Structure 1
């Protein structure tokens, strides 16, 4: 295991997951907003059912406000807040620039929440901030011991959402080699993951158990 405190490792991993979740869900919300307006008013309800969330709205704008501010534990505001909380808990492991970017995104969401105003243009702007966060990550943590833990969170979250939202085990398979490569940086004797099952629940369990296996398996 990489020489870093287990609790810090977990916070870095979840920071990576929450940042990726914010990015993936922002792109999805933008896409669903357009579909609600132009194609199928109930499109978002189907997608959120896959996440176990009952979604209701009277307009596209109401859908936007709800997903950004009001879904308990699942709003973009809550997701960004969770990313920042994990960043605070691992502050000493992050570059000043990366932490500042995460904090800036959090402050932008807090201001929007206080004013209760959100637009598609504003939401698209937050994607630029998320791109900057990942850009600073690549620039400042390429060889650092923390990098694989954050990268692991990023790829696990992407695989998880591809399966939950799109029932796409095939898309997850494209990331398996990357997942194994990152996991081997965390623990060289990592038992490589193979996704051969068409059972989505079994596949999700396998993907989401990787971090736990890396942090609890003892060296032989």
Structure 2
């Protein structure tokens, strides 16, 4: 494919980030929602705080509806999926129409089930389409640089979310190793001091919020130019 422009590299990275954001938040959302229904009616406030998004919701059911389906909420899952699709459309030639189609199927499904009485169960189909999208990347994206940039975005987003959502440090360390493996295969600049600091923080395994906050600062500096 040759040299990738900064704009194209940004599209590839953010395709990976938005797609992973949708998939991971869908998984975690279900866990938080179950807990809210059972006994913690204000659990969505804690969830929003961890993700650093405004808690604009009036209750559990409002959170369920608007966080999943409200396109006017920039932090909703549907809004992030729309951004993923927008990036994928611009990259159709690089990722193929087949790969793009699974993101479009996920978006169409998510929009279609908003008023369904079985929406909570049908969300799983959205996750399935997202997994199919990732599978297609390996089969249909022939250019190694494009594929690696998308997966670099995927793993940087995982680190961000896993740190915010209190995933165990052994899981975070594994995702950091995946990220560094991808970075070794792409030809873009990144903040190496931040990667070194992040590695040290992860290896320290500090589970307290201060440790995770310091790690997040490093993650956010990796690709400030993109």
Per-residue CA distance 1:11-37 (angstroms, 9 max, x = gap): 010010001000011111111121112
How far apart, CA to CA, are the structure 2 residues paired with 1:90 and 1:208? 24
How far apart, CA to CA, are the structure 2 residues paired with 1:24 and 1:10? 21
CA contact (8 A) 2:13 2:152 kept: yes
Structure 1 position 196 matched with structure 2 position 208: no
Per-residue CA distance 1:80-123 (angstroms, 9 max, x = gap): 0000011112121112210111122222233345xx44611111
Q: Which moved more, 1:44-53 or 1:24-33?
A: 44-53
Note the aligned Cα RMSD (angstroms).
2.5
CA contact (8 A) 1:72 1:78 kept: yes
Per-residue CA distance 1:144-174 (angstroms, 9 max, x = gap): 3201110001100010011112175554222
CA contact (8 A) 1:25 1:76 kept: yes
1:170/1:55 CA distance change after superposition, 3 Å: farther
Instruction: Name which structure has the greater RCO, CA cutoff 8 Å, separation 6+.
Output: 1
In structure 2, runs of 5+ residues without a counterpart are: none
1:211 alignment partner in structure 2 = 223
Q: Secondary structure at the match of 1:28?
A: helix
1:160 alignment partner in structure 2 = 160
1:45/1:25 CA distance change after superposition, 3 Å: same
Q: Which moved more, 1:85-94 or 1:153-162?
A: 85-94
Per-residue CA distance 1:59-86 (angstroms, 9 max, x = gap): 4x33311211237211111010000011
Q: Secondary structure at the match of 1:124?
A: helix
1:184/1:126 CA distance change after superposition, 3 Å: same
CA contact (8 A) 1:13 1:153 kept: yes
Q: Which moved more, 1:152-161 or 1:129-138?
A: 129-138
Q: CA deviation at 1:212?
A: 4.2
TM-score w.r.t. structure 2 length? 0.81
How far apart, CA to CA, are the structure 1 residues paired with 2:148 and 2:74? 26
1:218 alignment partner in structure 2 = none
